[in-house]
Amino acid sequence: MSVVIDQPGLLTTIQDQGRSGWRHMGVPFCGAADPLSLALANRLVGNSAAAPGLEMTLTGATLRFNLPTVFALAGGSAEILLNGRPTKSQHTCRVQIDDQLSVGPVRKGARTYLAVAGGFRADEVFGSKSTYLPASFGGHHGRIVKAGDVLKIGNAGAIEPSATPAALTPFISDGWILRVVAGAEFEFMDPASGAIIFSEPFAASNRASRMGIELIGQHLKTSTPDIPSSPVFPGTVQCPANGNPFLLMADAQTTGGYPRIAQVIRADRHLMGQIRPGDTIRLMRVTTELAGQILRKKSALYENWLGYCPFT
């Protein structure tokens, strides 16, 4: 019961819905950078919320199944070939032993997720099977997946094939609106920066990883370049001295010394995982009350289909 990796793609790791409760020891959240897409893929193969999937970054993997099973793909759009014939994401696909799945370059968005019925077996560390590369733990021996790796699959029950309803399929674009609330040091920004941060677009720079993405195009100024080391989270927008805001993601460090000017709301954090270098980013300020309403609405929509809230 396994899949064999023929080509791993650029940066492929096993991820789940993340780990919480350890930030005070410096352990990041980890988990799928786009947890909604992983949840949608898991739903199509009958997996629970906790099932680990494969996160493929910018380039997909090629792999063979050593079992008859079902799989599903969701997230960034890529050409998907099953034994050389095109197939689609967002629906359940049946495979036989030795069938080969090939996921091409991700054309829109940054990450594509593969779920297999039963989920990938992986190392559990601090309550999660997510791979955390900087400390080499979790997932598949704490590292990226390589050619020749044999990834074991858990047991699965009977599965009824389905497809993600069109209304729930996330729209993957090259322009993103992230809704934010004011961060702890929002007031540190000078008035000019306070005006442009929500009115002018930023671009995602090449400095992009699972830890975070640098936003360029507008320089922001703060009254103090450094703050005493303070807690930061996925979705925190820091403003370093160079003036380029830094958007923290799933693998965000737990504390930081730059002013925390904004915080992406929980309902929108999954979008960060699909931002690729060159994409346009707009930050839109909402009140904490509105953020709560957005979360409840968006969560109700997806809970109906998934059975749980996928927003972490």
Partner 1 sequence: MTTNAFSISPCGDDLLCIESRDKNAPLLQSLAIALRETGDWLEVVPGMSGVVVQFDNLRWCLSEAQAKLAVHLRDIPNPTTISQDSIEVPICYEGAYGLDLSMLEDRLELSAEQIVSRHLSRTYRIQMIGFLPGFAYCGALDQSLETARLASPRTRVAAGSVGITGRQTGIYSLDCPGGWPIIGRTPLKLFDAGRSNPFLLAAGMEVSFRQVTSDEFKALYRKYHQ
Provide the mask over 251-290, with x wherever binding to partner 1 is found by CB under 8 A and - wherever it is not.
Answer: --xxxx---x--x-xx---------------------xx-
Q: Would you count residue 20 as binding partner 1 (CB under 8 A)? A: yes
Q: Would you count residue 310 as binding partner 1 (CB under 8 A)? A: no
Count, residues near partner 1 per rule CB under 8 A: 45
Q: Would you count residue 125 as binding partner 1 (CB under 8 A)? A: yes
> In the set 82, 282, 299, 306, which binds partner 1 (CB under 8 A)?
299
The residue among 67 and 181 lying less far from partner 1, judged by its C-beta, is 181
> In the set 10, 97, 135, 163, which binds partner 1 (CB under 8 A)?
135
Whether residue 206 contacts residue 220, with contact meaning beta carbons closer than 8 Å, is answered with no
CA distance 33 to 212: 10
Report strand pairing: 280-285 vs 175-182. parallel
Q: Would you count residue 243 as binding partner 1 (CB under 8 A)? A: no
> What is the footprint of partner 1 within residues 83-112 (CB under 8 A)?
none
- The span of 8-16, 196-204, 213-221, 291-299 binding partner 1 (CB under 8 A) equals 291-299
Q: Would you count residue 210 as binding partner 1 (CB under 8 A)? A: no
Q: Would you count residue 205 as binding partner 1 (CB under 8 A)? A: no
Compute the least distance from the CB of residue 25 to partner 1, in Å: 5
> In the set 6, 292, 305, 306, which binds partner 1 (CB under 8 A)?
292
Q: Would you count residue 304 as binding partner 1 (CB under 8 A)? A: no
Q: Which amino acid is at 210?
A: R
Compute the least distance from the CB of residue 263 to partner 1, in Å: 4
- The span of 24-32, 54-62, 153-161, 195-203 binding partner 1 (CB under 8 A) equals 24-32
Sign of CA dihedral 165, 167, 170, 173: positive
The residue among 118, 41, 12 whose CA lies nearest residue 310 is 41
State the CB neighbour count (10 A cutoff) for residue 192.
11
> In the set 26, 127, 161, 165, which binds partner 1 (CB under 8 A)?
26
The residue among 37 and 128 lying less far from partner 1, judged by its C-beta, is 128
Contacts to partner 1 by CB under 8 A: 20-28, 125-126, 134-138, 142, 181-184, 227-231, 233, 235-236, 253-256, 260, 263, 265-266, 288-289, 291-292, 295-296, 299, 309
